[in-house]
Structure 1
Amino acid sequence: MARSQYLSFVHAVIAAIKPDISTEDMDENWEKLRFFLPDNLVLAALDLIDRDSVVKYCAPWGRVRYEVLGSTATYTVFPQLPSPDSDIMAYCTCPSFTYSVLLSKSQLMCKHVLATLLAERLQKCVERPVTADELASTVTRCFS
């Protein structure tokens, strides 16, 4: 099976998660995620969510940016890329994403991407409104 199909399955499981979902249904979704992703990846993503490490910056005109506060640095996450032909559906600026997802292709995503996708579905992102200047600063920081 192609990577893009696995990613589609993972995204479908994540899309089924809702903030008010029953414990029974949530357990079933966690089991499905654990089928496609390593346990340590799922647990690390949930830990980031529990520590309120997923930050959603909301610009007044509707633009949204995500950052995840890691243990050693802050990483910018792009949870949905506009390229339907690619087997990469998200991007993170962390070294793990570069090595494990892009180079060795040993994982479908890093813990920061998974945490962002799950936090968004569970409505657990720490939301911060930003001005145009503040958003420009986060973009500049991402590419420096």
Structure 2
Amino acid sequence: MSTPGLGHVVQAVVSSIDEDNLEEGIDKLRALFPDTTLLAALDLVDRESVLKFRTPWGGCHYEVLGSTATYSVFPRLGWSPDMSCYCTCPAFAFAVLMSESHLMCKHVLAVHLAEQFSKCVEHSIDDNDLLARLTSRVQ
């Protein structure tokens, strides 16, 4: 991300949204994201396309079912001040990493929103299955 810390602003805005102030929260997100990204993220949440895999050791892995592929999403990278999230989709590589024109892609935003609204489709996964899922994304 071109501006360190904005990922935390997005997370704070998303965390402040609840059913009582949904419209106000969406308006705040419109100040941070293009309408196309915001509407696409909300659509992914509505279609229950955000998958959350819980590991036996308490970790989580997220995947988002896109229109053409399934993408691995890492919504909170604590190790880098310049990049607070990551997605394996081409839009993230181009719009976030290369051109720095977006804070995050629709898939990362969808994960944040799905978590806030308790709309993740949850599954349990063991370490071998998680490894298989992750390695299948890079082949």
Band the TM-score falls in, shorter-chain normalisation: over 0.9
Alignment of 1:124-135 (within 5 A): 124-135=119-130
Q: What is the deviation of 1:140?
A: 1.2
Counterpart of 2:12? 12
Q: Deviations over 1:60-81 (max 9, x none)?
A: 2212100000000000000000
Q: Does 1:57 align with 2:60?
A: no
* Distance in 2 separating the partners of 1:123 and 1:34: 21
- TM-score normalized by the length of structure 1: 0.90
Q: What is the deviation of 1:99?
A: 0.2
* Distance in 2 separating the partners of 1:85 and 1:133: 30
Counterpart of 2:29? 33
* Distance in 2 separating the partners of 1:9 and 1:45: 17
Match of 1:42 among 38, 42, 49: 38
- TM-score normalized by the length of structure 2: 0.93
* Distance in 1 separating the partners of 2:80 and 2:16: 21
Q: What is the deviation of 1:84?
A: 4.7
SS in 1 for 2:45: helix
SS in 2 for 1:4: coil
Q: Does 1:91 align with 2:64?
A: no
* Distance in 2 separating the partners of 1:60 and 1:85: 29
The residue type equivalent to 2:24 in the other structure is E
Q: CA RMSD in A?
A: 1.4
Percentage of pairs with the same residue:
47
Consecutive aligned runs of 4 or more in structure 1 exceeding 3 Å deviation: none
